[in-house]
Structure 1
Amino acid sequence: MTYPIDISEEGGVRFLHFGSLWIQGAMRIARPWHLELDYTREMMASLLLRDDSRFPRKVLLIGLGAASLTKFLYRNYPLAKLTVVEIEPRVVAAARQFFKLPEDPKRLNIVIGDGARFVAENDKTYDLILVDGFDENARPGELDTLPFYQLCRARLNDDGVMAVNLLGRSRGYATSLERLRDAFDTRALAFPSCESGNVIALAATGAPIRIGLDDLKEQAHALKDNTGLNLLPTLARIEQSQSCPGGVFCL
């Protein structure tokens, strides 16, 4: 049975649902490029991990939802080429009709298809891979398996970064993180859970990442000035969780 795709609005925010009250995406109508949900902001912490003006130039997003991540990158990283894989064509239609998904085939390639299959069958590589794909029951399916994570690693360029939304793992996220660490030779970590219950995990290839928290905060200030995105609360939570021994973020 095909699940319905519903749109609701409250307090100036438009929400995407897959036939339930479960929120699959959100957009503040007056600020359509703004990252409304906290977990989408946390996924963008991946942008702080490479001090390179060319990062990211090639981005793969698996799962479109309300197109929040897509629109943020499209607006703020004009040199980046984005590929979005979304399995449900009605989600793409809803994103265009209700969530201001841009039409720009030169910079934004929308692929209707299975994300795991796309990664398995295409040999293109990316600087940044963002995975936020769930069915109507908040299950990730093949997007939370060791073979998928291994293929994602193979599709990352040198010094590539991957961010995964681990919400919906019915038995917690520890097993998912272990799979991710296995695929990336232990180079993966999870942020403390944000208020919504989402847990964002990051993984990396290439040169080891060692960044002092003070330097990360400087980069976060610059990102805020350039894009309006404030990641300082995320860095404060990371610091409070004592996951940066000696005040150094390592990945």
Structure 2
Amino acid sequence: MPTTRADLHVKVLDEAVVERAKAAGVDVLVYAPHFTRLPDVRERADRFSDDELLVVPGREVFTGSYRDRRHLLAIGLEDPVPDFVTLSGALSAFDEQDAAVLAPHPTFLNVSLSAGDLSRYREQIDAVETYNPKLLSHHCKRARSIANAHDIPAFASTYAHLPRTIGEVWTEFDTDIESEADLVAALRDGVERRTYHHHGVRHRTRSFTEKLHLAYENSWEKVDRLFLSGTEPTHPRHIAYDGRFDDVSVY
């Protein structure tokens, strides 16, 4: 039976990342950096894809306000969708493009879909993340319980913000995935898959380092200074969106 090993959510992409992914036997990476417009994400993904490693562009969209945000990971978008729009507005935009919609780190802090959100939007969510190195064991247990309760397929990812985390976590699909369209189909069709991660001191150390990075990543001062002016590339009122999201913008 053909299988494909995928890391469905990474934030970093360079030569070192590609080398580590290949050495770990990863076939597919989903590259979804924060606050970066889709055309730029796609250009970089294309640049690092080759016959050994498929890099697929993704968008982790921040819905709601920064203080009460819900993250959604969309794969298969053709048209850009900005951050800081309503949750329903983002889901509608994804649905119009037949994108696969994933729920990263559910119920984690104030940055994730709640159990109630997943119940309400069950038909629009294609997979729930049940493991990444930033999560604690009780977060993973709760995510698995929610996925099982709503019969939503699971996935795992490195959620890597640091290159050394690449290769530590993966999802193995029971199908060949050779293109972005193949990955979207596998996710939307609920293709059988299994999730894996390494264990031991090295994995715990890399997980701890990713957790340290999380503290800086979620600094309000950082985002307030860099993003909420309205001029950043994924702000909903940026000129690039031509007013298309004004009715669902929260800023």
TM-score higher than 0.5 = no
TM-score under structure 1 length normalisation = 0.35
Higher strand share: 1
Per the normalisation by structure 2, the TM-score is 0.35
